Chains A and B, each alone.
Chain A
Amino acid sequence: MAAEAGIGTEAPANETAGREVLVQVEGLKKYFPIMQGIFRHQVGAIRAVDGITFDIFKRETLGLVGESGCGKSTTGRVVLQLYPATAGRVVFNGTDLTRLTGEPLRRMRPHMQMIFQDPQASLNPRMTVGSIVSEPLDEHGLGNTRAKRARVEELLELVRLNPKYTNRYPHEFSGGQRQRIGIARALALNPEFIVCDEPIAALDVSIQAQVVNLLEELQQGLGLTYLFISHDLSMIRHIADRVAVMYLGKIVELAESRSLYTEPLHPYTQALLSAVPIHDPELEARRERIILTGDVPSPADPPSGCRFRTRCPIAVERCAQEEPLWRELRPEHWVACHLAE
């Protein structure tokens, strides 16, 4: 790993300003094979995640933003080892998850959970709320029937659902309530770390705020650590302590939320931020947008050098030849761009 040029060679220091690292991701890659022909031989690979390195500190929310297809959801899943990594390491509380399989990995699962995007699709329509929320308890053999029932009621109260609803089915709930059920299920085993994969993208605006507030309260109350994946840059600014920006399988910028939003260093981050509409007509009339041309290239055949160069408004020749290094340009503000200064 270390010999390869580019993002992921210089990892950020593990102990920064006394904060404890909970999850350490090093040079993580995930390639999906492209198969062809009747013998299904491999003709190429989708490089969904292509060498990323970052830490997640205890009790923080790390926001992961990017557009569709940039690999942010795959990152979340590989971090939890829902997909095996192609290369790289994920160290959780000192244990390298990528070396574990079978029972030892299963024993790690209670510590790390996931909240999914679509509460409609992630809840089994034939199971009652009670059995959905207690499934993790059954799976990991915790507690007798009575203890489990008490735990389910406690969890429903925790996510502000009426505990009387345990015998109802998911279709009897609205989208926001269904997402609360998903959150209760994720909390059942008292995890330390939760990957939130676009948890509010499928919800109406007025309901999004409810769910985000709930997630923030739970984090405070239970001391949770979140990896919060989203394409909504305004919401990420609200919820995240630090933010990583992904483009085509790479992290291009990582910084404290405030620093990233007030002084974005990567041209992609700058374009992304300028493209987000703000609900203020006077401000919108004055704003200058950076309009990117073209579309995101295919992750099966990414551009040479810097992956953003094909759409970058300031790209120079060097960008096609050399992959930019991952540099700490300001304290705690990392960027991968030749031209950023």
Chain B
Amino acid sequence: MALTSLDESAILQVRDIQIRFKTQEGTVHAVNGISFDLNEGELLGVVGESGSGKSVTMMSLLKLLPMPPAEIASGEALFNGRDLIRLSDEELRRVRGREIGFIFQDPMTSLNPVLTVGYQLTEHLRRHLGMTRSQVRCRAAELLALVGIPQAEARLDDYPHQFSGGMRQRVMIAIALACDPKVLIADEPTTALDVTIQAQILELIKQLRQELGMSIIWITHDLGVVAGMANRVMVMYGGFVVERAGVSELYGNPQHPYTRGLLESLPRLDEEGDEHLQGIEGQPPNLLSQPSSCPFAPRCPYAFERCTEENPLLEEVGDGHEVACWWDIDGGVPRHGR
């Protein structure tokens, strides 16, 4: 896909990313041509189940994947006029943490257990901003206070194991925010946390967004978490984007059978639970073969001949609402695409 619409407000433009993993069993086609824009100041929710390619796509932007076995077969990611995929390691190092921050899922394994939190917090500051020691310490305490850690100054000398899970994730957020990045990529940042702690972190992110105004990519498998935060949501399956829309449109008027299935699989906290859950039959896709048909076709209740022959591309079906499906789910007829 060429760069046709050069949206002025897009801070990050990702085009046709393809990622493969060479494994003993064969080539895993993890990501098969993903394109998206991240607009200035927006929160883009990326929803998908394990193996959908959501994390791998975002990690590839900063070359955080082990290569090999991973291989970025094609694609570009324009950020500030530069293509991240083609940057040298040295140039990329200046982007990581400085301009694009990353929060990982598991705060236990992503902090170094033998270094103090203060040291890990200030690593970026020393490297990127060339601050003096006392400036750095002052800024680090400021950051810990910003993410709501009490007695921030004193806690700089503590090690990660002295913090609870929720506090560690706050430290991770503080590290990601240290250099005031324009883009924050959050990879399931609350999945490992308890629900009351998750609520604390979500509240914190909402508040930080208002104060700092950065653009956020929020990766999650939980449709509930992004419902209250995202501006737009894209749904991934088998290494493809299958649907993308504004948040209320996506939840209120889902057009892809997979999105519908996901929403119907979830019981609601505010509803009586007597009826049968819909669920989605079948198993997640096998990514070992080159995709040539719709990845969801084997599990799709609406699948017809064309679905097993051609892979549908994303197509606009409403204002900013795109879906990759041959079947018009509301009309009950095939879509006449391209």
Contacts and interface: CB of A to CB of B under 8 A. Distances in A.
Contacts of A68: 194
Interface stretch (A41-49, A131-139, A206-214): A206-214
Contacts of B280: 206, 209-210
B270 interface: yes
B195 A205 contact: no
B265 A205 contact: yes
Contact of B268 (A213, A273, A279): A279
Interface centre among A176, A206, A289 (most CB of B within 10 A): A206
Interface string B225-245: 101100000000000000000
Interface stretch (B7-15, B123-131, B197-205): B197-205
Interface centre among A67, A216, A238, A283 (most CB of B within 10 A): A238
Contacts of A235: 267
A240 B200 CA distance: 27
B221 A205 contact: yes
A213 B277 contact: yes
Contact of B225 (A208, A257, A261, A277): A277
Interface residues of B, number: 47
B247 interface: yes
Nearest to A276: B269
Interface string B133-145: 0000000000000
B196 A272 contact: yes
B273 interface: yes
Contacts of B223: 205, 279
A296 B277 CA distance: 33
Interface string A265-284: 00000011111111111111
A258 B269 CA distance: 11
Given A67-B194, A277-B224, A237 B251 contact: no
Contact of A210 (B164, B228, B281): B281
B268 A234 contact: yes
A277 B222 contact: yes
Contact of B248 (A204, A209, A281): A281
A273 to B, nearest CB: 7
A210 B227 CA distance: 24
Given A206-B262, A277-B224, A295 B267 contact: no
A82 interface: no
Contacts of A287: 228
Contact of A279 (B167, B196, B263, B283): B263
Contacts of A207: 279, 283-284
A1 interface: no
B269 A234 contact: yes
A5 interface: no
Given A283-B270, A295-B197, A209 B227 contact: no
Given A238-B277, A277-B225, A281-B248, 10 more contacts: A68-B194, A206-B280, A207-B279, A209-B278, A235-B267, A238-B273, A258-B272, A278-B268, A281-B247, A295-B167
14 contacts: A67-B196, A67-B197, A206-B280, A212-B277, A234-B269, A257-B273, A274-B199, A275-B195, A277-B222, A279-B268, A281-B247, A281-B248, A291-B196, A295-B167
Interface of B: 49-50, 164-167, 194-200, 202-203, 221-225, 227-228, 247-248, 251-252, 261-273, 276-281, 283-284
